[in-house]
Structures are given as C-alpha cells and as structure tokens.
A and B are shown apart, each in its own frame.
Chain A
Amino acid sequence: NAGVTQTPKFRILKIGQSMTLQCTQDMNHNYMYWYRQDPGMGLKLIYYSVGAGITDKGEVPNGYNVSRSTTEDFPLRLELAAPSQTSVYFCASSYSKGHPRGYTFGSGTRLTVV
C-alpha cells in the first residue's frame, strides 16, 4: 500500500496564481483532512471530509476550496495565492473518528508564494 500520496512536493507560486494540491489514499479511509503547518507551529485544519460528496470547513478555510468526488481523492484548490499561504500542507486520512490507528499523513507539499 502506498498510504497517502501528495503531489507536488514543492511549489513556488506568484501572487495571484492558482493551483491544486493533490491527495490520494489507497486505504479505503472514509475521512480525509487538509492541514497547513507554518514554521515552528502546530497544524491548522483547513477542510475535512467524512465521505465522498461531503466536505466541511475547518479552522482556516479562507482562500481554499476542496472537493471529494471519490473515496480516494481529496484535492485542495488555492485561488488567488497570497504570501500568507506560504506554508507546508499536509493531507491526512483515517478510517473513522476515534479509530485506534489514528491518522495517516502524506509527506507534505511545501508551498512558497512570492
């Protein structure tokens, strides 16, 4: 199993550009999440999904959009990139709330907006 796969690993965007961060999991997890982590800080939840077709906002959703058309894929869309969106983005997945295996994370996407 590949687990959670994120692409790209690194990206530099110019202010105002848009991009999509891809996230795919092959563990048949129902729940998927997008987090951002600023240097030296904890993770902040951007959006999450409890199943295909169901998404909801987290703590810091402004400037982002998501979709969940399949169980496996949960892409994150950045529209009109701003320097404040410079961060490391992690996608994660889990079977269910409170599952004994917790969350599995992708390796992250390091995004710089200049």
Chain B
Amino acid sequence: QQPVQSPQAVILREGEDAVINCSSSKALYSVHWYRQKHGEAPVFLMILLKGGEQKGHEKISASFNEKKQQSSLYLTASQLSYSGTYFCGTEMDSNYQLIWGAGTKLIIKP
C-alpha cells in the first residue's frame, strides 16, 4: 500500500533539473508532495487530485497520471534552498489516511 518513490537520492549542481516519481498499486484520490529539511517538520508543497492535472509552484511543478497511478515532481533550475528530502503521500477514495513514500533525498551543490 505504501507508494514507491524513485530515485532514493539525487545529487545536483545548482541550476540543474530533477524529476522525482511516486507510484501506487492502488487507485488514488489524491497525491501530496512535501519537503522536509533535516531536523524539521515536513512542509506542504502541493496536492494533485484524481483527474490528471498538473500544478506549478514557482519552479516546482507536479503532474498526476490517473491511468498509471503515478505522480511526478519537477524541480527546475534547482536552488540551494531546494535541498532536503521529498516525500509523496497518497490518499485513496475509501479512507482518510495519507500513506507516505520512503522519500527522495535531494542534495544541491553550488
């Protein structure tokens, strides 16, 4: 039931792009994306509801493919402040639980 995130870790130079994927074997109601910096709480980035939409938040955007039950997070022209661990969380129609992936650690080097 836990969504699968890939890759587990990414190392980038400042200004490079990254894609983080989140896949589920279950039909989803929504996908959440959060960023967590070391020693801090997760911070909400965006939510995508079933319907196959795409959302943007400055240089960070995401898509949700309902047929594949897969979401992707796109980080464009990465900045040092983007470093942290990115988590997806998935909700199904049938309950109120947000189940989290294992996370993708993103390291941005100057």
Co-assembled chains A and B: yes
Interface, chain A (partner B; CB < 8 A): 31, 33, 35, 41-45, 48, 50, 56, 58-59, 90, 97-108
**Which residue of the partner chain, among A50, A97, A104, contacts B44 with CB atoms under 8 Å?**
A104
Chain B 27-48 against A: per-residue CB contact (8 Å), 1 yes, 0 no?
0011010100000111111110
Whole-angstrom CA separation of A35 from B89 in the bound complex: 13
Interface residues on B, range: 20 to 34
State whether A97 and B29 are in contact (beta carbons under 8 Å apart), knowing that A45-B97, A58-B97 are contacts in the complex. Answer: yes
Q: Could you tell me the distance in whole angstroms from the C-beta of B41 to the nearest C-beta in chain A?
A: 4
Residues of B within 8 A of A50 (CB): 96
Q: Could you tell me the distance in whole angstroms from the C-beta of B54 to the nearest C-beta in chain A?
A: 14
Residues of A within 8 A of B2 (CB): 42
**Which residue of the partner chain, among A41, A45, A97, A105, contacts B41 with CB atoms under 8 Å?**
A105
Contact A101–B44 (Cβ < 8 Å) = yes
Contact A98–B98 (Cβ < 8 Å) = no
Sample of 18 more A-B contacts, CB < 8 Å, known A43-B89, A102-B34: A35-B100, A41-B102, A42-B2, A42-B103, A43-B87, A59-B99, A90-B41, A97-B30, A98-B29, A98-B30, A98-B49, A98-B91, A102-B32, A102-B44, A102-B45, A103-B34, A103-B42, A107-B41
Whole-angstrom CA separation of A104 from B98 in the bound complex: 13
Question: Looking at A42, A45, A58, which has the most chain B CB atoms within 10 Å of its CB?
Answer: A42
> From DSSP, what is the main secondary structure of chain B's interface residues?
strand
**Which residue of the partner chain, among B30, B42, B45, B49, contacts A43 with CB atoms under 8 Å?**
B42
17 contacts between A and B (CB under 8 A): A42-B101, A45-B97, A45-B98, A56-B96, A58-B97, A59-B97, A90-B41, A90-B42, A97-B29, A99-B47, A101-B44, A102-B34, A102-B44, A102-B47, A103-B32, A103-B98, A108-B41
Chain A, residue nearest B5 (CB): A42
Q: Could you tell me the distance in whole angstroms from the C-beta of A105 to the nearest C-beta in chain B?
A: 4
Q: Could you tell me the distance in whole angstroms from the C-beta of A25 to the nearest C-beta in chain B?
A: 13
Chain B, residue nearest A56 (CB): B96
Whole-angstrom CA separation of A102 from B30 in the bound complex: 11
